[in-house]
Chains A and B, each alone.
Chain A
Amino acid sequence: MTALLTVDGVGKRFRGLTAVDDVSFAVEQGAIFAVIGPNGAGKTTLFNIIAGELAPDHGAITFAGARIDRLKSHAICRRGIGRTFQLVRPFPTLSVEDNVVVGALLRHPDPVIARRRAHEVLWQLDLFAKRAQQASTLTLPDRKRLEVARALATDPKLLLLDEVMAGLRPAETDRMVEILTRLNHETGLTILLIEHVMRAVMALASRVLVLHHGAAIAEGAPEAVVREPAVVESYLGAEAVE
Chain B
Amino acid sequence: MIAWLIEGVPRRGLVALAVLLGALLVAPWLANDYLVTVLIIILYFAYTGQAWNVMMGFAGQLSLGHAIYVGLGAYAAAALYVHYGIGPWIGLAAAIVIAMLCGAIIGFLAFRFGVGGVYFAILTIAFAEFARIGFDHFQWVGGSSGFFLPVANYSRSDLWNLRGSPTMFYYVMLVLTAAAFVLCHALLKSRIGYYWQAIREDEAAARSLGINTFRYKMYAVVISAGMTAVAGVFFAFYYNNLFPEQIFHISRSIELILGPIIGGIGTLFGPIIGAFLLTGLSEAMQELLARRGFDVPGAKQVFYGVCLLLVVMVLPDGVWPWLARRLGLKRQQS
Contacts and interface: CB of A to CB of B under 8 A. Distances in A.
B333 A78 contact: no
A73 B333 CA distance: 31
Contacts of A73: 204, 207-208
Interface stretch (A19-27, A97-105, A165-173, A203-211): A97-105
Interface stretch (B20-28, B114-122, B140-148, B190-198): B190-198
Contacts of B206: 102
B211 interface: yes
Interface stretch (A87-95, A174-182, A187-195, A221-229): A87-95
Interface in B103-128: none
A135 to B, nearest CB: 9
A207 to B, nearest CB: 24
A218 to B, nearest CB: 29
A89 B202 contact: yes
Interface in B195-231: 195, 197-198, 201-202, 204-213
Nearest to B189: A111
Contact of B202 (A53, A78, A83, A91): A91
B212 A89 contact: no
A92 B201 contact: yes
B333 A95 contact: yes
Given A103-B209, A154-B210, A91 B201 contact: yes
B296 to A, nearest CB: 40
Given A95-B333, A111-B191, A106 B210 contact: yes
Nearest to A156: B210
Q: Name B's interface SS.
A: helix
B205 A85 contact: yes
A78 B197 contact: no
A109 interface: yes
Contacts of A151: 208-209
A91 B333 contact: no
Interface in B11-49: none
A51 B210 CA distance: 11
Given A89-B202, A93-B201, A101 B209 contact: no
B220 to A, nearest CB: 16
A214 to B, nearest CB: 23
A13 interface: no
Interface in B300-334: 333-334
A105 B204 CA distance: 17
A45 to B, nearest CB: 15
B325 to A, nearest CB: 14
Contacts of A106: 209-211
A150 B209 contact: yes
Given A89-B204, A91-B201, A98 B209 contact: no
A91 B204 contact: no
A82 B205 CA distance: 11
A72 interface: yes
Name the residue in B201, B210, B333, B334 with the highest tally of chain A Cβ atoms < 10 Å from its Cβ: B210
B194 A102 contact: yes
A148 to B, nearest CB: 12
Contacts of A74: 207-213
A49 interface: no
A61 to B, nearest CB: 16
A77 interface: yes
A66 interface: no
6 contacts: A90-B205, A92-B201, A102-B197, A106-B211, A115-B334, A150-B205
Top 7 A-B pairs ranked by shortest CB distance?
A: A77-B210, A91-B201, A132-B333, A106-B210, A89-B205, A73-B207, A102-B198
Given A93-B201, A111-B194, A150-B205, 8 more contacts: A51-B208, A77-B209, A78-B210, A85-B208, A89-B202, A91-B197, A91-B201, A151-B209
